[in-house]
A and B are shown apart, each in its own frame.
Chain A
Amino acid sequence: MAPAQSAFTLSGIALPEEEDPLGIWQLSQTTEAVSFSAAAETPEEPAWRIALPELPETAEHLLTDHLQALTLSEQDLGQAQQTLLALSTQEAVSFSATEPLAGPQAALLDAVEALKQPVSYDLKLQEDAETQKLYRQWQSFIEQVRRTLMHYARIETTLAAAPVGLTEVGWTGDFKTTWPAKTTGFSPHRQYHLQAVHLALGSRIALLRVVSIVSTGAAGLALKAAMPGAQVLLLPATWKFVRDVLKELRKSWPQIQSLI
């Protein structure tokens, strides 16, 4: 488990099932986790908060592990993208049931096959609570990702509850960074905040990449279904596939899982 004093929290956006698809951030709709005042208000803009423990070795270890988690998430997104490409371009897809991604692949291909059936897919949608839920999740996800791009990104780093640095990044990429004046010369604390900014902005880009991979994947799979409009109908199933693939692949990160 992560040390009790630490937290990597994302607030101001509401992702489906209150879960970061990358598995890096804990979602929070309030500032309670790292705020300094009980009266703190819910932020309007997305905010990434990194609360580090006082012990330098532990703080560095936590940051390194989370940065590694981001790198692994980016790799896993690449694997999801490649798998989607293979599923959409291969005539006959075969995979062993023991493969870690067998379940998500089978579920996605079932969704493609369902579109080929003569029964109206709209009728099927209205009857299928799970599909409806996925539709709502995908809509919510793209809305929240859109929201992260429309607002300032705030990144706040604290160490043992003391402020280390605050950065605001405008949507065009302008940076405003504020540091406590007492810190002079080289300070590892400042490096912590720079790493925190890298982690937060990298996570935002990775979420945007999820949208690209799902949209492109659904468009590719629509060719298999050979049905007009299939790519939009396949977006929720493709979203579920990418989310499940990321979850599945995260199981191979035991050393990082223990920290999240």
Chain B
Amino acid sequence: MAEVTLQEAVKKFANDLAARVQNFVNDVSVLEVRTYTTPHDQVKILINDRPDVTEIANEGNVSLRAYTQVSFDGDTAICVPVEEDGSVDKGVWEIHNQTVEQAMDNRAKMLKSIGEAAASALTALQKTKE
């Protein structure tokens, strides 16, 4: 019957989101942002073949140029990219910092949105049972 099927679908959605929220709370303690550079032809391979970036970075085809780890308590670990002469690669560093801001903003919005969606679906299900 359509009602039961739909209810099951809503329940699955709500339960999955609720689990996501729970996992989010557990995993949200650290946010990691990695910035890589690679030869032009390697970008094409990345797009076409979809290898794991971390794996091919280990193989040397992609270079990890900057890394930021932000902990929930505010502790931050940063790896800054430098040129051969030891000076900071400002181009990579600037774009990496912009990405970090974007990542933090996205995480905050996603957590809020997932929480709202799960709550609305669970509320609908609870009212059904009342």
Contacts and interface: CB of A to CB of B under 8 A. Distances in A.
A125 B100 CA distance: 49
Contact of B48 (A36, A181, A190): A36
A166 to B, nearest CB: 5
B77 interface: no
A232 B20 contact: no
Nearest to B36: A178
Interface string A163-202: 1001111011111111111111111001000100110010
A73 to B, nearest CB: 14
A143 B33 CA distance: 29
B23 to A, nearest CB: 8
Contacts of A145: 13, 117
Contact of A178 (B10, B38, B89, B125): B38
A135 B117 CA distance: 19
Interface in A34-53: 35-37, 40, 43
Contacts of B106: 169, 173, 201
A54 to B, nearest CB: 16
Interface string B88-130: 0111101100111011001101100110110111011101101
A179 to B, nearest CB: 5
A211 B124 contact: no
Nearest to B26: A172
A94 interface: no
Contacts of B103: 169, 173-175
Given A181-B63, A184-B91, A211 B121 contact: yes
Contacts of B48: 35-37, 40
Contact of B34 (A125, A166, A175, A197): A175
Interface residues of A, number: 65
Interface stretch (A96-104, A212-220, A241-249): A212-220
B94 to A, nearest CB: 7
Contact of B99 (A35, A150, A175): A175
A150 B16 contact: yes
Given A138-B6, A179-B35, A146 B17 contact: yes
A122 B2 CA distance: 8
Contact of A174 (B33, B35, B40, B62): B33
Given A126-B2, A146-B13, A232-B128, A215 B33 contact: no
Given A172-B24, A205-B110, A215-B120, A190 B95 contact: yes
A209 B9 contact: no
A188 B106 CA distance: 22
Given A166-B47, A180-B40, A232-B6, A185 B128 contact: no
B50 A235 contact: no
B91 to A, nearest CB: 4
B58 to A, nearest CB: 13
A180 B39 contact: yes
Interface of B: 1-3, 5-7, 9-10, 12-13, 16-17, 20, 23-24, 27-28, 31-40, 43-44, 46-48, 50, 53-54, 62-63, 89-92, 94-95, 98-100, 102-103, 106-107, 109-110, 113-114, 116-117, 119-121, 123-125, 127-128, 130
Interface of A: 35-37, 40, 43, 122, 125-126, 132, 135, 138-139, 142-143, 145-146, 149-150, 154, 156, 162-163, 166-169, 171-187, 190, 194, 197-198, 201, 205, 208-209, 211-212, 215-216, 218-219, 222, 228-229, 231-233, 235-236
